């Protein structure tokens, strides 16, 4: 099962771009990479999912290099409301969500 490593925390300011990198060295051929966002005392919310190269939606972008051993979630122009925990999942849900990255956006 692919294990993920991501930073425990990151600080940013409003209007900046936040990039969170997740390492997953033993990702399997059929594994997708999925990111979730969680606010305190709320359930996680799906942000974006990808398999390779780049995926973009209205909320974020996901960059995946050719070797797929890492991925980077990019949040453009963050606001205070983007302060949350961000989880990187590789493969399926049975791996559980890990500790995630706590992103704190300051004014």
Partner 1 sequence: DSGVTQTPKHLITATGQRVTLRCSPRSGDLSVYWYQQSLDQGLQFLIHYYNGEERAKGNILERFSAQQFPDLHSELNLSSLELGDSALYFCASSVATVSPGDEQYFGPGTRLTVT
Distances (CA, A) of 59 to 94, 95, 103: 25, 25, 15
Closest to partner 1 by CB, 75 vs 100, is 100
- 45 forms part of the interface with partner 1 (CB under 8 A): yes
Closest to partner 1 by CB, 16 vs 38, is 38
Report which of 51, 72, 75 is spatially closest to residue 62, judged by C-alpha positions: 72
| Bridge partners (DSSP) listed for residue 92 | none
Closest to partner 1 by CB, 67 vs 94, is 94
Residues 6+ apart with CB under 8 A from 75: 17, 18, 19, 20, 59, 60, 82, 103
- 98 forms part of the interface with partner 1 (CB under 8 A): yes
List the interface residues with partner 1, window 47-86 (CB under 8 A): 49
- What is the contact surface with partner 1 in residues (CB under 8 A)? 30-34, 38, 41-46, 49, 87, 89, 91-100
């Amino acid at each position: 099962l692919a294990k993920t490593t991501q930073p425990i925390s990151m600080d940013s300011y409003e209007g900046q771009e936040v990039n969170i990198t997740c390492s997953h060295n033993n990702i399997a051929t059929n594994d997708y990479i999925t990111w979730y966002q969680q606010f305190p005392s709320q359930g996680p919310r799906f942000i974006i999912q990808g398999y390779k190269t780049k995926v973009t939606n209205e909320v974020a972008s996901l960059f995946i290099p050719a070797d797929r051993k890492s991925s980077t979630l990019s949040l453009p122009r963050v606001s205070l409301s983007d302060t949350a925990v961000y989880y990187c999942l590789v493969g399926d849900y049975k791996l559980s969500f890990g500790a995630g990255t706590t992103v704190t956006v300051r004014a």
